[in-house]
Amino acid sequence: MKIGLIVPLGESPDLGRPPSFQEIRALALQAEEAGLDSIWVYDHLLYRFEEDMTFGVWEDWSILAALAEATERVELGTLVMAALWRNPALLAKMAATVDEISNGRLILGLGTGYHHPEFDAFGYPYDNRVSRFEEAMEIITSLSREGKVDFHGEYVSALDCEIRPRGPRPGGPPILVASQGPRMLRLTAKFADAWNTAWFGPVAGIAQRRAELEAACAEMGRDPASIDITVGVNVGYPRPGIAEDEPIDPEKALTGSAEEVAAGLRAYRDAGVAHVICGALAESTYEYASHVLTHLAEAVKVYHAGE
């Protein structure tokens, strides 16, 4: 089983700023040095929960391209890119280019997007998101895997389109879909190399969603074993020097000693999960993410020692 880290890109309410790129880069290099298998970025344009609560986020594809050059070994993924915010043919070409920059280390994670305020703020339609996603996936998967497509849809088109040059992998980067709900799960079964569900603590939390994916695969005639299962997992540790910090809920996050966290990771491995993507989600700062990563690195060492 592979183990990765999602890096923070959004503003911290306490600091009033997001991590700088140099801090994000440092986290990626720290994770690579610690022996993790992958680095992930998320795709948001802003968070707006009320009129007076707006938080900014760095654009993830630009960050991803920079990390592709900065790192050498780790895989690089999007968890997940909103397929509706970029022309799908251009997105497939962008993916081929970043796969080239990274020498074949990209995992192209895709979804519909869900946070309505950012659709409105940046002028993207929110209606018929699943239908728009299906058309985008027709284009992206054909271009990535075959290098060409001729598609005319209700929402998007790519007429006699080709990806040239193709990038380092003839079949393109693996395509991951984050999904839930019957129709999106059927599209996962139709298009995806990997599926993501998030965010969880102990492995028992994924059972219901996994059963729903397997049902969708049965409906679509797809062997569920042919889709890699990836899971976003909360990892948390008390912040150093803050006596009043709330204890981490072990039902919502992996926490505790290196041995306890390693045991949690092994439980995912034993359940057949192909890739765990760890998130230090309690706080979106470089300092907290680095603190969590330091502890997680010890757990990863223990995990590998028990293989």
Domains in the chain, number = 1
Instruction: Supply the pLDDT for residue 85.
Output: 97
C-alpha–C-alpha distance, residues 235 and 283, integer Å? 11
Count of other CB atoms within 10 angstroms of residue 79 = 24
Q: Is 255 helix (H, G, I), strand (E, B) or coil?
A: coil
Count of other CB atoms within 10 angstroms of residue 108 = 28
pTM for this prediction:
0.96
C-alpha–C-alpha distance, residues 281 and 292, integer Å? 10
Instruction: Supply the pLDDT for residue 243.
Output: 59
C-alpha–C-alpha distance, residues 203 and 106, integer Å? 26
List the structure tokens of 108.
């192209």
Its domain, for residue 176, covers: 2-305
pLDDT < 50: residue spans in the chain:
none
- Residue 197 sits in a domain whose CATH number is 3.20.20.30
Instruction: Supply the pLDDT for residue 238.
Output: 87
Instruction: Supply the pLDDT for residue 103.
Output: 98
Instruction: Supply the pLDDT for residue 307.
Output: 77
